[in-house]
Structure 1
């Protein structure tokens, strides 16, 4: 009986400790779903046919939301686009939409059913959506949301904003328009002895890829692009280029990851690429802690060029190309009067350098993050 009593005490103590760590806020930075290529590759005549399209309704903000009696759909003319077929460049596909719905459903199971953190019925005051102003990321945000909160009644009209900004001012990707210095720094890195030596060490592989694809001035960025192109093709049952072996595909993956880590993961580039977004993230945390922010969940849908520097900022990029629908999740916990942050990448918990545990004291996390935020962004970006 004494042993049973001791176990009961241990169990009660466990739940008492667990209950003191209260989840307060979640920020999820997600890559868009599978898509068609952004541009045609030399020697490539693949035809891309897209069925996934969206409908829009135009309305004056000063007027009440009307019933959707008249909707407008964009329809691409056959073979009048950059890509052969009826798809726009980089368009999200049905497979990509399903990937995001599945991810949203996964978050639903965790944060609604398992943790009872979000309400089972949609409360717009708790959710905030943010996306870059690209169709594939906007649609990815919408599909994630459909997975998180499936629409039960088709007759009910929900108008939910996806916050965005002009592409030239976007702070969730490698943006040379907003920060011209990035282009110069990138070229300096690609002229460095280490980069040049590495490219020389794979000259024969470059020759093999050039022979297959017909690229001119092939470099590390092309490897990342081509590996993504291989993934598009495999996922959509498209024919792979003749002569491209499994061994070469694996080499594309390795070289694309090396490029992403060496160039996009460079500390200075990381700071100028993702620093302004990290300030937005800290602002969201601070406003939540102060009680000003009613939101419990922020979704940010963006690109590979945002996730790599975001992970690199915390020493967490693993030199592997980022898969579609990948997610970097920040969780804010409260324990009595202290706050903690936990970071994860595709469900893998990440220990932030400088923190003793995987749950990092918020004051410490904030100091670490502030080191990656430019003090004078405009000045540091000036050429």
Structure 2
């Protein structure tokens, strides 16, 4: 456990912000897998008292989406993607084009019985691509941007009213729905009337082979070994036994009970898009209501379907090594950015141009996946913190406390606060602080202990 002595200034913040560590069990009673919760300015969001905000880092799961694969014979009508977010704006040196507010391109998904493969049952009906952000998902992620604008632009005046691209670092994964989610988020954070024509936001993406925002078993062979070992443990096999009846019902309705590729899991990914978009859930036999999936079935199926990942990071001795190899590479850059922000306040450069080149961006946004957020939560949060919902956010705020007169140290202190589902994250028992106002060095030392010393050696298979 990492501990640091606290000044009176820090103690004052801790006492003011929270009297006790919150518990995940009662804190997330309003959890809904279909819709994450974002803090709301002046209502559920309050700034840290006697402190100045220095940096904000937001991780957001993409919004509502279609299944990641088309099941054989799936006749669901996914007509829920008619307003795609993939508008393409041209970034060019031609100033006449850069000043336009009109999109250059807009994508459209063509699914029609005129396509013989569709007619033969190889693809579902509707207007959606596999794993695509839906209309609902687009609206969800845009709303997150609006909520955070109300906080960080309007309430706190931390970000300017008009977009300054130099203030933002944006990163999405190589999967298209995270890019679409980022586009929608940015539209909410800085709508078109709050952008100048020549403002271009760079969206950063790591290539798939080196992506660090997901469980990258290809890049790290040791991770693949650990995952394969986990799904053979008594912990995991007992989990499947406990859910065998539900698994049989779901797979029977989906028509995959006879297919070995699908029939050994709960397949929550295939039923939750129906549930979240109020589509028919499906029945084994239309004349038998008892054979139909219920909302309760779907919620249980999607919850239990995540155990092969949530359990991997929490439920066996191997979990500590898994966290180190899976999350450590991302945490290396994430924490380095925090340290750069903190060190910047005490460094004054005479060369203004050099200072601009070295400027640390105050707002970072990571458009990612449920597992991206969960693997970070596995390190910092109570083990029973719920799985990330669609458009859920994990927000890290770095604050500097204002000096309190007559304090023993006479110094300001750097603190970090972490919010998930709009609430302060219940800290992991080994963290050594609460996450309403954790001394920054305590937080960083704990988190950085999961960064591999030599990733090449540690990722080598045993």
**Normalising TM by the smaller chain, what interval?**
0.7 to 0.9
Q: Name the stretch that deviates more: 307-316 or 65-74.
A: 65-74
Write 1 or 2 for the structure with the bigger share of helix. Answer: 1
- Structure 1 Cα separation of the partners of residues 216 and 141 of structure 2: 24
Residues 90 and 97, structure 2, Cα contact 8 Å, conserved in 1 = no
The normalised TM-score by structure 2 is 0.72
* Offset from partner CA, 1:288-310 (integer Å, 9 cap, x none): 11215431110000001211111
For 1:241, the equivalent position in structure 2 comes to: 282
Give, in whole Å, the separation in 2 of the partners of 1:311 and 1:65. Answer: 46
For 1:366-381, what aligned pairs fall within 5 Å after superposition?
366-381=444-459
**Correspondence for 1:352 among 427, 445, 462:** 427
Deviation of the 1:156 alpha carbon: 3.1
Give the SS at the match of 1:263: coil
Structure 1 residue 102: Cα displacement? 0.7
Partners of 1:29 and 1:96 in 2: how far apart? Answer: 16
Gaps of 5+ in 2: 1-15, 17-46, 284-291, 345-357, 402-410
Q: Quick check: 274-283 or 256-265, which moved more?
A: 256-265
Cα shift at 1:44? 2.0
Counting only pairs closer than 5 Å after superposition, residues 1-383 of structure 1 correspond to structure 2 as 20-49=50-79, 50-53=81-84, 54-56=86-88, 66-67=97-98, 71-79=104-112, 83-84=123-124, 85-152=126-193, 156-213=197-254, 214-215=256-257, 216-217=259-260, 222-223=265-266, 225-226=267-268, 228-242=269-283, 243-265=292-314, 266-291=319-344, 292-318=358-384, 320-335=386-401, 336-353=411-428, 354-358=431-435, 359-383=437-461
Aligned equivalents of 1:124, 1:185: Cα separation in 2 = 41
Compare 259-268 and 353-362 and name the one that shifted more: 259-268
Secondary structure at the aligned position of 1:66 is classed as helix
Distance 1:70 1:25 in 2: 31
Structure 1 unmatched ranges of 5 or more: 1-13
Q: May I ask how many residue pairs the two structures share in their alignment?
A: 365
Query: What is the CA-CA distance between 1:373 and the residue it aligns to?
Result: 1.2
Kept in 2, the 8 Å contact 1:258–1:319? The answer is: no
**How much has 1:217 moved relative to structure 2?**
4.5
Correspondence for 2:286:
none
Helix, strand or coil: the match of 2:453?
coil
TM-fit CA distance, 1:261: 2.2
Give the TM-score taking structure 1 as reference length: 0.85
Call closer, same or farther: CA 1:293–1:346 in 2, change over 3 Å: farther
> CA 1:114–1:155 in structure 2 vs 1: closer, same or farther (change >3 Å)?
closer
Instruction: Give how far 1:317 is off.
Output: 4.9
Residues 35 and 58 of structure 1, relative CA distance in 2, 3 Å threshold = same
Contact 1:38 1:90 survives alignment (8 Å): yes
Higher relative contact order (CA 8 A, sep 6+): 2
**Preserved contact between residue 399 and residue 415 of structure 2 (Cα < 8 Å):** yes
1:332 deviates by 0.4
Describe the SS at the equivalent of 2:55.
Answer: strand
Deviation at 1:257, TM superposition (A): 4.5
Cα 1:378–1:221 change in 2 (3 A) is farther
**Structure 2 counterpart SS, 1:103:** helix
Q: Bigger CA drift: 30-39 or 332-341?
A: 332-341
In 2 relative to 1, CA 115–355 (structure 1 residues): closer, same or farther, beyond 3 Å?
farther
User: Cα distance, 1:319 vs. partner?
Assistant: 5.5
Q: In structure 1, how many angstroms separate the alpha carbons of the residues matched to 2:334 and 2:207? A: 19
CA distance in 1 between partners of 2:264 and 2:55 (Å): 36
1:177 deviates by: 2.2
The offset of 1:194, in angstroms, is 1.9
CA spacing shift, 1:153–1:210, aligned 2, 3 Å: closer
Deviation at 1:24, TM superposition (A): 0.3
| Distance in 2 (alpha carbons) for counterparts of 1:128 and 1:302 | 14
